[in-house]
Amino acid sequence: EVQLVESGGGLVQPGGSLRLSCAASGFTFSGSAMHWVRQASGKGLEWVGRIRGKGNSYATAYAASVKGRFSFSRDDSKNTAYLQMNSLKTEDTAVYYCTPGYCSDDVCYPRFDPWGQGTLVTVSS
């Protein structure tokens, strides 16, 4: 059974940093692109970005709203993906989900299945 467990969320002040983790099991993690999607309370889904696997040089892509502040990494030996969030803003407050996805060449299809339970990040003073 495929499982994803996000952790690391919490309360942080504006301008602060936080690192989220996504522990995966039940599929070939090393060969999968890992995506992050967030959802502010009562709002819709927003793609944050993705990191590809070793075969694609761990290539990363970011949404314009987080580029330059967020970064992705992964440890294939631990089947874990990470989201490092710096210079946090109040508008980054959301539940953050990780999910595996399939990429072909430069296209990463949003066939996201399954999703983790999410971890809540609250940016507030």
Does residue number 63 form part of the binding site for another protein (CB under 8 A)? yes
Residue 115: CB minimum distance to another protein, A: 4
CB 22 within 8 A of CB 72: no
Does residue number 91 form part of the binding site for another protein (CB under 8 A)? no
Question: Which of 72, 94, 118, 121 lies at the binding interface for another protein (CB under 8 A)?
Answer: 118
Does residue number 113 form part of the binding site for another protein (CB under 8 A)? yes
> Two tokens at 50?
């993705």
Segment contacting another protein (CB under 8 A): 10-18, 51-59, 84-92, 103-111?
Answer: 103-111
19, containing H or E segment: strand 18-25
> Two tokens at 34?
């890992």
CB 88 within 8 A of CB 117: no
Does residue number 117 form part of the binding site for another protein (CB under 8 A)? yes
Residue 107: CB minimum distance to another protein, A: 5
Q: How far, in Å, CA of 69 to CA of 62, rounded?
A: 10
> Two tokens at 46?
């927003």
Distance between start and end Cα atoms, the chain = 40
Does residue number 68 form part of the binding site for another protein (CB under 8 A)? no
Q: Which residues make up the interface to another protein (CB under 8 A)? A: 35, 37, 44-47, 49, 61, 63-64, 97, 106-118
